[in-house]
Amino acid sequence: MKAAVLTEIRKMAIQDIDKPVVQSGQVLIKIDYVGICGSDVHYYEHGRIGDFVVKEPIILGHECSGTVVEKGEGVKNLRVGDRVVPEPGYACNKCAFCKSGKYNLCEEMIFMATPPVDGSFCEYISYPADMVFKLPENVSTKEGALIEPLAIGIYAAQRGGVFPGSKVLVLGAGCIGLVTMLACKAYGASQVIITDVLDNRLKAADNMGADFTVNTSQKDLHALIADITDDMGMDVVIDCVGISPTINDAVDNCKKGGSIVLVGMGSDGNVSINLNRAISKEIDFTTIFRYRNIFPTALKMVSDGKIDIKNIISHSFDFEDIAGAMEFVMNNKEKVVKAIVKMNKTSAR
């Protein structure tokens, strides 16, 4: 089968490799669409993210969808021909974290496109069937490839305690900021303000239903929030950037007793924050790491029309052009909201 292999930094080539053999409990999935994630671009450009270092050639890509073409022994939840989305990590189900239900924190997590584990920029993957979800009839395979980033937004909204009537501030209007905004609106937030320093991202946010967009390099965010909340501040603030200025915007604009969810991992992770201000407001801080048990919810929300996810796609590429696609996305980070790769000529709808 064909696979796009990252052979060294900024060198990706389509190679012929062995097609995976489906194991017991697994399904063989013909990949239809794969989204290009910020992490893929980071590995492509730098060969590492923090402690995860690319040491051997690797197949990137983890935001994928496809069609089941073969079943391993014992698989009961899926049929050949089902259009599906695999959750890109599977856990050991044995460690203390798995047993406590927090499988996303598993010590033995095997996560696609995180070295040394291969991802899905290839024709087929074989994957544990219990982590593969059938797409509802009215959800396209293309939308299926967007479920993974959406899951992060939904998890962030849940952890922040967003409920009907909440006033929410989302910092950062990249892909994750946008899916977070969509999730907050779907959970009934009455006002969602989203910020960025790039107007094209704010325009996308506007088109996707933001109540207010603020370019923080030009406008006074605090004044707007004071105005619309009678000086109270926002109930929930979700930071999708992860740098000192946004963390302090979060603290400054969070209501007393409100909650802040930290999603973005910016630069090296060192931030400075005015702790006194945060403590005197008795702010609840939460973080999220990937997601757990969210894919079924995400699929249902898209299927029910509560979230319209497809408009997040800003660029599309064919698998044959994947090397050019990676280079383009790397060089146009400010323009690209979400790039998606069509993996074969006959990709399911």
Q: Is 91 one of the binding residues for Zn ion (CB under 5 A)?
A: yes
Q: How far apart are CA 123 and CA 343, in angstroms?
A: 7
Please tell me the count of residues contacting Zn ion according to CB under 5 A.
6
173-212 residues labelled b (16+ CB within 10 A) or e (exposed) = bbbbbbbbbbbbbbbebebbbbbbbbeebbebbeebbbbb
Asked if 271 touches Zn ion (CB under 5 A), the answer is: no
In angstroms, rounded to a whole number, what is the distance separating the alpha carbons of residues 195 and 169? 8
How far is Cα 122 from Cα 109, in angstroms, rounded to an integer?
Answer: 21
In angstroms, what is the minimal distance from the CB of 273 to Zn ion?
26
Question: Which residues have C-beta within 8 Å of that of residue 132, sequence separation ≥ 6?
Answer: 27, 29, 68, 77, 78, 84, 85, 86, 87
Amino acid at 154: I
Among the listed residues 17, 49, 69, 92, the single contact to Zn ion using CB under 5 A: 92
Cβ closest to Zn ion, residue 116 vs residue 165: 116
CB of 112 to Zn ion, least distance (A): 9
Distance of closest approach, residue 103 Cβ to Zn ion, in angstroms:
6
Whichever of 101 and 165 has its CB closer to Zn ion, that residue is: 101
Measured from the CB atom, the residue of 106 and 309 that comes closer to Zn ion is: 106
Closest distance of CB 108 from Zn ion, Å: 5
- Backbone phi and psi for residue 47, each to the nearest 5 degrees, phi listed first: 75, 5
Question: By C-beta, is 78 or 92 nearer to Zn ion?
Answer: 92
Terminal C-alpha separation, the chain = 22
Site string for Zn ion, 22-61 (x = CB under 5 A): ---------------x------------------------
Dihedral (CA of 290, 155, 192, 210) sign: positive
Is residue 247 involved in binding Zn ion (CB under 5 A)?
no
| Candidate segments 91-99, 199-207, 268-276, 280-288, binder of Zn ion by CB under 5 A | 91-99
For Zn ion, the closer CB: 91 or 340: 91
Return the number of the residue (174 or 258) whose C-beta is nearest Zn ion: 174
User: x/- binding map, residues 94-133, to Zn ion, per CB under 5 A?
Assistant: -x--x-------x---------------------------
Q: Which is nearer to Zn ion, 251 or 307 (CB)?
A: 307
CA 28 to chain centre: 24
Answer yes or no whether residue 1 interacts with Zn ion by CB under 5 A: no
Contact between 294 and 320 under an 8 Å Cβ cutoff? The reply is: no
Q: Using CB under 5 A, which of the segments 90-98, 127-135, 159-167, 298-306 binds Zn ion?
A: 90-98
How many CB atoms are closer than 10 A to CB 51? 6
Residues found near Zn ion in the complex (CB under 5 A): 37, 91-92, 95, 98, 106
